Amino acid sequence: MAQYSQDLNGVFQALADPTRRSVLGRLGQGPASISELAKPFDMALPSFMKHIHQLEDSGWIRTEKTGRVRTCVIERTSFDVVEAWLSEQRDIWERRTDRLEQFVINEEEGRR
């Protein structure tokens, strides 16, 4: 559970920044080089690379170097972590709302 929580924290922390979300959005269309990804942003390459490293460290992307070009590819693992967590949360809240609904129904029947 602790490892799962740590992974989840890193995954969501990576999504907290609009630059990183934009990079993931672009990578959803397919692999791209660092220079392609950095082009739309008004920041120095070393600053942009910090975003790439955070995405890579959190498991959202992986990078591959071929010659002088480093290409980024989206990873499925972090999506699976988020999906599992959201599914757990959905189940918890559905059970809670089901209990609330049952409580309201019982209260209304008790008033009749």
Dump pLDDT digits (tens) for 44-72.
999 999 999 999 999 999 999 999 999 99
Mean pLDDT of 86-107: 90
Q: Where are the domains of the chain?
A: 2-111
Angle made by CA atoms 89, 98, 8, in degrees to the nearest 5: 5
pTM exceeds 0.85 for this model: no
- How much is the pLDDT for 4? 57
Binned at pLDDT 50, 70 and 90, residue 76 comes out as confident
**CATH architecture classification, 2-111:** Orthogonal Bundle (1.10)
The two tokens of residue 28 are 């959803």
Say which DSSP state 39 is in: T
The two tokens of residue 79 are 């999506």
